[in-house]
Structure 1
Amino acid sequence: MRKSAGWIASAAAAVLVAAGAITYAVAADDGGTGGTVPAADSADAGFARDMAVHHQQAVEMAYIVRDRTTDEEVRRLAYDIAQTQANQRGMLLGWLDLWGLPKVSSDAPMSWMGMGGMADGEDGALMPGMATDTELEKLGTLKGKQAEVFFLQLMTDHHKGGIHMAEGCVAKCTVGVEKRLAQGMVDAQQSEIALMADMLRARGAKA
């Protein structure tokens, strides 16, 4: 229990550090916008809002599987995902604070990509790649190898959806530091998809 609490505390600390540090990052790089704050309906703001929600679910899934298996390889991957995405989520929310923009919008998710209305939010899945509420509940009931396989399958789909969104920001966002973060997400998550494919094969399963 203490290990679990310490792990969660570490992830929370990463968010706080990122949220505080991001002010300096943006101040040092206005992305060529001349210091102009992005509009509330811009790709920059839409990506920040949507990816923060997307990342939050990845962190939740990582927390769930960590307590459903003793496999160190899966637990290590879950820890890395939770740390990285909690950190990035803090950065995205920090930008919205810095820009004085709301963290929620009445616009449909993905509207900034021209995909408004394509994600219907059925059973809690608000955006491409997101797990449904039913799938999250199922993950919480599995143990051992079954939990590992289902987590890896869910996270593979989650990463594919995240990559699609991040590529949209690379193409449409105007703030340089945010575009670079998005490209970093694409590169890292593509690498993790390859790793998870290997992990699934080792467990006799497919993505």
Structure 2
Amino acid sequence: MRYAGVAVAVAGVLVAAGAISYSVAGDNGPAVPSADSADAGFARDMAVHHQQAVEMSYVVRDRTKDEDVRRLAYDIAQTQANQRGMLLGWLDLWGLPKVSSDEPMAWMGMKGMASGEDGALMPGMATDTEMKKLGALNGRQAEIFYLQLMTDHHQGGIHMAEGCVAKCTVGVEKRLAQGMVDGQESEIQLMTDLLAARGAEPRP
């Protein structure tokens, strides 16, 4: 089963992140990142991105009895909720706001790339309409739509995490971002397999 590989990747992410209170500010970077730094921007934006993934995952767990999809959804929800806590905790440690007046993705030089139309604030995020649709589906239809939405979500998340790997200065945050890339790439392959088993494929 591919779940073993995904579980190893997830465990690696959590180990790489380390304890949230352990020398975050001084790990291969400035004492405290600035409010407009890539470190702060990534922490704020990925916390929002992750929150939607957690919400989607709990929605689908109530819409299907398929154990493979329910297990994947639970794993994604738990992993991303834990990572979100780390990101918000670092902002607290740095004394930085969790909400910025700047546009999402500005730290990546992507100002204006995400319009926020219908609730999709960043690349890969589902719209409000898509979230409502997911909550109205059941069984195989819910499974397929969730897997397609989450594949898009992961692709957007990987792009953001790669941006942090390139631009962030705090070592433990860069390692968390690389762990996100590795873990979500594994999950995309798993979701592609689950879609194929249901006669479907990721959205173009």
Q: Given the two structures, how large is their TM-score scaled by the length of structure 2? A: 0.89
Equivalent position to 1:26, from 15, 18, 24: 24
The DSSP-based 3-state class of the residue aligned with 1:120 is: coil
Asked if 1:109 is matched to 2:104, the reply is yes
Task: Give the alignment of 1:1-16 within 5 angstroms.
Answer: none
**1:49 corresponds to:** 44
Structure 1 residues 143 and 129 mapped into 2: Cα distance closer, same or farther (>3 Å)? same
What amino acid is aligned across from residue 151 of structure 1 in structure 2?
A: Y
Instruction: Give per-residue Cα distances to partners, 1:136-170, cap 9 Å, x unaligned.
Output: 00000000000000000000000000000000000
Equivalent position to 1:168, from 145, 163, 166: 163
The DSSP-based 3-state class of the residue aligned with 2:136 is: coil
Asked if 1:99 is matched to 2:94, the reply is yes
Equivalent-residue separation in structure 2 for 1:22 and 1:176 (angstroms):
13
Equivalent position to 1:190, from 165, 179, 185: 185
Kindly state the Cα deviation for residue 72 of structure 1 after the two structures are TM-superposed: 0.2
Gapped regions of structure 1 (runs ≥ 5): 1-20
Task: Give the alignment of 1:77-96 within 5 angstroms.
Answer: 77-96=72-91
Q: What is the aligned-residue identity percentage?
A: 82
What amino acid is aligned across from residue 127 of structure 2 in structure 1?
A: T
The DSSP-based 3-state class of the residue aligned with 1:26 is: coil
**2:32 corresponds to:** 37
Using CA pairs below 8 Å that are at least 6 residues apart, which structure has the higher relative contact order? 2
What amino acid is aligned across from residue 116 of structure 1 in structure 2?
A: K
Instruction: Give per-residue Cα distances to partners, 1:87-119, cap 9 Å, x unaligned.
Output: 000000000000000000010000000001110
**1:128 corresponds to:** 123
Task: Name the count of aligned residue pairs.
Answer: 184
Equivalent-residue separation in structure 2 for 1:154 and 1:169 (angstroms):
23
Gapped regions of structure 2 (runs ≥ 5): 1-18
Q: Given the two structures, how large is their TM-score scaled by the length of structure 1? A: 0.87
What amino acid is aligned across from residue 27 of structure 2 in structure 1?
A: G
Instruction: Give per-residue Cα distances to partners, 1:25-56, cap 9 Å, x unaligned.
Output: 526xx2222x5100000000000000000000
Structure 1 residues 196 and 25 mapped into 2: Cα distance closer, same or farther (>3 Å)? farther
Equivalent-residue separation in structure 2 for 1:111 and 1:96 (angstroms):
17
**2:174 corresponds to:** 179
What amino acid is aligned across from residue 188 of structure 2 in structure 1?
A: I
Task: Report the RMSD for the aligned CA atoms in angstroms.
Answer: 0.9
